[in-house]
């Protein structure tokens, strides 16, 4: 099950507007609406109506839930990917690289395989994070 936290004034807490956990473990987080909405659309996630869980004068946090689970796997060869996997850019081991997804899974390249783990340059990485994460 996915748990989605929506934070108002995230800069006063941890910097992320959206934090997504799966089975109580951090799964991903987004600072931007674009990154969050792309994630939701990519995996066709439907979630419950958010409800306020924490309400302090400078901080408000909402919570929502989804019955979905998403597998998170590493791959060492492009041929290991399912035929319907779609390429997109995502964070893996601290760098933005080509990852792949299906509705129910995310496939990230093994960082030790330099032929498939090819990070963006530093300027491209910064721009990507500002816009998408």
* Chain centroid offset of residue 12 CA: 21
Q: What is the mean pLDDT of residues 37-63?
A: 82
Q: Residue 78 — φ and ψ, nearest 5°?
A: -55, -30
Phi-psi region of 120 (alpha: psi -120 to 50; beta: other; left: phi over 0): beta
Residue 57 has pLDDT above 70, yes or no: no
108: pLDDT confidence band, cut at 50, 70 and 90? very high
Mean pLDDT of 2-15: 78
Quickly state the pLDDT bin for 7 (edges 50, 70, 90): confident
Domain ranges of the chain: 2-66, 71-132
Q: Does residue 10 have a pLDDT over 80? A: no
What are 55's strand-pairing partners? Answer: 60
Average pLDDT over residues 83-90: 96
**DSSP state string for 66-129:** ES---EEEEESSGGGS-TT-EEEEEEETTEEEEEEEETTEEEEE-TT-TTT--PPPHHHHHHHH
């Amino acid at each position: 099950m996915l748990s989605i936290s929506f934070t108002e004034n995230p800069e006063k807490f941890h910097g992320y507007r959206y934090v997504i956990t799966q089975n109580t473990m951090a799964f991903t987080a987004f600072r931007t609406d674009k990154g969050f909405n792309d994630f939701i659309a990519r995996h066709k996630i439907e979630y419950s109506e958010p409800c306020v869980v924490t309400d302090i004068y400078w901080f408000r946090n909402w919570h929502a839930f989804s019955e979905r689970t998403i597998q998170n796997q590493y791959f060492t060869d492009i041929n290991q990917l399912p035929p319907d996997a779609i390429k997109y850019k995502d964070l893996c081991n601290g760098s933005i690289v080509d990852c792949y997804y299906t509705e129910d899974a995310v496939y990230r390249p093994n960082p030790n395989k330099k032929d498939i783990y090819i990070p963006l340059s530093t300027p491209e990485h910064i721009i990507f994070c500002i816009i998408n994460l």
